[in-house]
Chains A and B, each alone.
Chain A
């Protein structure tokens, strides 16, 4: 158990470091790359919980796709060099909001009735995940496809050149 605990603290520390770097870094590029570190550390934590499929999805979707979108978005907007001032007057409210979210999440995590204890995780097996996903959660799953479709249409509508604008 102790080895797991050691890894938990290493990975948790990496995740914390990455998250703090994301908000505290003066350089947007460094902020984005710190976020990648945090996301990868979370993938490691999933492996400690024996949720390997989730870990792989975390690396593939968050470590890969979301990160690329984020970096592209930065390249899209930033037009000048050098550190830009990233904070503004809403800083305090952001702190309050983040603190409230943290408190709510902590309470939810504490009172929830988890199907398996964290100190003794079970490996569900991939076919079990599939069965639960497609039988128990079939309708949310179909809804997910609609959400994806809406996201796609939204992205296309926003990016379309407006009338009179040349490509």
Chain B
């Protein structure tokens, strides 16, 4: 390792950081435009052609806003919490490959590294909620952490299934293992679980319980303003981009695709996933926290375990790949039916209780 190498890596890191910043700004604009269109509005229109300069105006505004530090005894914890949330969101990009060569550094333990780093940002959220000296922040922080750790498990278990199929942790080799077919073909259930749990990891609608504006006024971030708040904001969009990119790499075959260049394929796939995430925000209402936790622990985690076992038997005994596809579909169908039956039973029991109460009142 020489100084030239270090310089080269630093340049790559700089390019990557710049790219992430640009994409994040673009995503904030896209989200507002897409949401606006879905709600039959125009979205931002005033700054530049169809509002394309809006993100820049927003960034300038955020820099120029007053950064209010509440009167906290623990100002240090309050002050560095955004750092602890933002830095993991940035450094996991070291090993996400855009194309075969377009990656800062390919790590042998790539996917595990990403998981480990992203778990660490949870500590930052606890710090934010603790430093704020505010009971809503404390409540929101505890909820956020409960949600994030619960949904981390299905994510890890699904990644495990992908690793079983590809036999490597190296992100680049995972993509290369999908040369004949993308893993969504043998892991459709894994793909669905990853999308749902990834959405919950982002804390976006319908999983935005920790920051629920109308219930706990922004959760752990309620006391933050100005630049400190923007760091949480940037981290959220960087993570949205990361979930899109990870879905692409793990399930959709990364940069591979016919005719078009690799980078374009990667962008198309990633943006489609991100579009889907934005679209859900416009469509779905918020879950309640007990529904959220029940769904994770009583449905997603057991079915992820089942997925691992089935994948294990499929690989170990070398069954044909279409059998895995059919088995996954059967599991998806079975899971869906289970949810429907549980819902119906629950609705029936609620109706029964109400009927009994009415009769008692009448009598």
Judged by CB atoms under 8 Å, the answer to whether A and B touch is: yes
Residues of A within 8 A of B (CB): 27, 29-30, 33, 36, 52-53, 56-57, 59-60, 63-65, 67-68, 71-72, 75, 126
Chain A residues whose CB sits within 8 angstroms of the CB of B117 once the complex forms:
59
Among B63-71, B106-114, B220-228, the one that faces the other chain is B106-114
Q: Is the CB of B119 within 8 A of A56?
A: no
How close is B221's CB to chain A, nearest CB, in angstroms?
18
How close is B119's CB to chain A, nearest CB, in angstroms?
4
The reply on B164 being an interface residue by CB < 8 A is no
**What 0/1 pattern do residues 110 to 126 of B give for CB contact below 8 A with A?**
00110111011011001
Q: Is the CB of B74 within 8 A of A52?
A: no
The reply on B127 being an interface residue by CB < 8 A is yes
Dominant SS among interface residues on chain A: helix
- List B residues 81-120 near A (Cβ within 8 Å): 107-109, 112-113, 115-117, 119-120
Chain A residues whose CB sits within 8 angstroms of the CB of B107 once the complex forms:
52
How close is B132's CB to chain A, nearest CB, in angstroms?
12
Q: Is the CB of B142 within 8 A of A64?
A: no
Chain A residues whose CB sits within 8 angstroms of the CB of B113 once the complex forms:
56
Q: Is the CB of A52 within 8 A of B108?
A: yes
Contact of B130 among A29, A52, A53, A63 (CB under 8 A): A29
Q: Is the CB of A71 within 8 A of B126?
A: yes
10 cross-chain CB contacts under 8 A: A30-B74, A33-B127, A36-B123, A57-B116, A63-B116, A63-B123, A64-B122, A65-B149, A68-B149, A71-B130
The reply on B289 being an interface residue by CB < 8 A is no
Q: Is the CB of B122 within 8 A of A68?
A: yes
Report the separation of the CA atoms of residues A30 and B74 in the bound assembly, to the nearest whole angstrom: 9
Q: Is the CB of B119 within 8 A of A63?
A: yes
**Beta-carbon nearest neighbor of B107 in chain A:** A52
Report the separation of the CA atoms of residues A52 and B126 in the bound assembly, to the nearest whole angstrom: 27
Chain A residues whose CB sits within 8 angstroms of the CB of B116 once the complex forms:
56-57, 59-60, 63-64
The reply on B242 being an interface residue by CB < 8 A is no
Report the interface size for chain B: residues with CB under 8 A from the other chain.
Answer: 22
Contact of A29 among B74, B115, B122, B142 (CB under 8 A): B74
The reply on B145 being an interface residue by CB < 8 A is yes
The reply on B77 being an interface residue by CB < 8 A is yes
Report the separation of the CA atoms of residues A30 and B75 in the bound assembly, to the nearest whole angstrom: 11
Q: Is the CB of B77 within 8 A of A29?
A: yes
Q: Is the CB of B108 within 8 A of A60?
A: no
The reply on B169 being an interface residue by CB < 8 A is yes
Chain B residues whose CB sits within 8 angstroms of the CB of A65 once the complex forms:
119, 149
Q: Is the CB of A60 within 8 A of B115?
A: yes
Contact of A64 among B77, B112, B123 (CB under 8 A): B123
Chain B residues whose CB sits within 8 angstroms of the CB of A75 once the complex forms:
138, 142
How close is B233's CB to chain A, nearest CB, in angstroms?
23
**Beta-carbon nearest neighbor of A36 in chain B:** B123
Chain B residues whose CB sits within 8 angstroms of the CB of A72 once the complex forms:
142, 145
Chain A residues whose CB sits within 8 angstroms of the CB of B112 once the complex forms:
53, 56, 60
**Beta-carbon nearest neighbor of A127 in chain B:** B167
Report the separation of the CA atoms of residues A36 and B77 in the bound assembly, to the nearest whole angstrom: 13
Q: Is the CB of A64 within 8 A of B119?
A: yes
Report the separation of the CA atoms of residues A27 and B116 in the bound assembly, to the nearest whole angstrom: 27
Report the separation of the CA atoms of residues A126 and B74 in the bound assembly, to the nearest whole angstrom: 43
Q: Is the CB of A126 within 8 A of B169?
A: yes
Q: Is the CB of B109 within 8 A of A64?
A: no
- List B residues 221-263 near A (Cβ within 8 Å): none
Report the separation of the CA atoms of residues A75 and B127 in the bound assembly, to the nearest whole angstrom: 12
Chain A residues whose CB sits within 8 angstroms of the CB of B108 once the complex forms:
52, 126
Chain A residues whose CB sits within 8 angstroms of the CB of B145 once the complex forms:
68, 72
Chain A residues whose CB sits within 8 angstroms of the CB of B109 once the complex forms:
52-53, 56, 126
